[in-house]
Amino acid sequence: MRKVAIITGAGSGLGQATAVRLAQEDVNIVVVDVSEKGGNETVEMVKKIGVDAIFIKADVSKKEEVKNYVDQTVEHFGKIDYFFNNAGISGSGKFFLETTTDEIDQIVGINLMGALYGMRYVAEVMLKNGGGAIVNTASSAGVIGQDSVVTYAATKHGIVGMTKSMVAEYAKNGLRVNAIAPGPTETPMVKSFYEANPAMKENATRGIPQKRLGTPEEVAELVTFLLTSKAEYINGEVIRIDGGFTNTK
């Protein structure tokens, strides 16, 4: 029987690339995104590979919508084996005292509360079935300090703490939880952030020892490895994938 993976933020970027990569490993995919267009596009891409896929529209900052995507997954597939807890936004790129409290609420709601809600409802299902594997999307801004992303960094540091603490509580019950910390990567979210803040792209690229941004496909390879049985003894880790960016900080 095929494994089943839920991927949030799967309508583009890291989520979409990971959906395609997991489908190549014969995994059925639940595509969760706020964008119907992007979500349905990912479903089509995955189905062409030969596995089953469904799209569930959800705003992950709303706990009832998170519970709904979990419930619908169980109703359709009967189980959850893998969870890429990935949905997130970057914010405006303004310095903290220039941001609005509405922006703070939005970033925290999607990046941190959305991840916590997802963890809460997905892990509950996994533990009833003997365990599962989860990868949370943190960021280079979750392992070092960076300017212009104070709220974003706060949420990503929170993801790191959530990851490690879930392992402390539930590894003995068969749960594996790891996090990835991508540096600047060529995703739609990052592209729009740099379009609004062009000088920051030049600064970021200059600060990466490999002198280029990462690709969604490179991140997808890491996520796929961490979710599958090949990584069974890796637990509670935060793995940087940033071309050496945070190594120089």
Strands of the sheet with 132-137, listed across from one edge: 53-57, 28-33, 4-8, 82-85, 132-137, 175-182, 238-241
Q: One of 69, 152, 170, 194 is an active-site residue; which one?
A: 152
Q: Per residue in 142-158, is it b (16+ CB within 10 Å) or e — as a string?
A: bbbebebbbbbbbbbbb
Q: Per residue in 20-51, is it b (16+ CB within 10 Å) or e — as a string?
A: bbbbebebbbbbbbbeeebbbbbbebbeebeb
Catalytic site includes residue 152: yes
d(CA 175, CA 210) in angstroms, rounded, equals: 34
Active site residues: 152
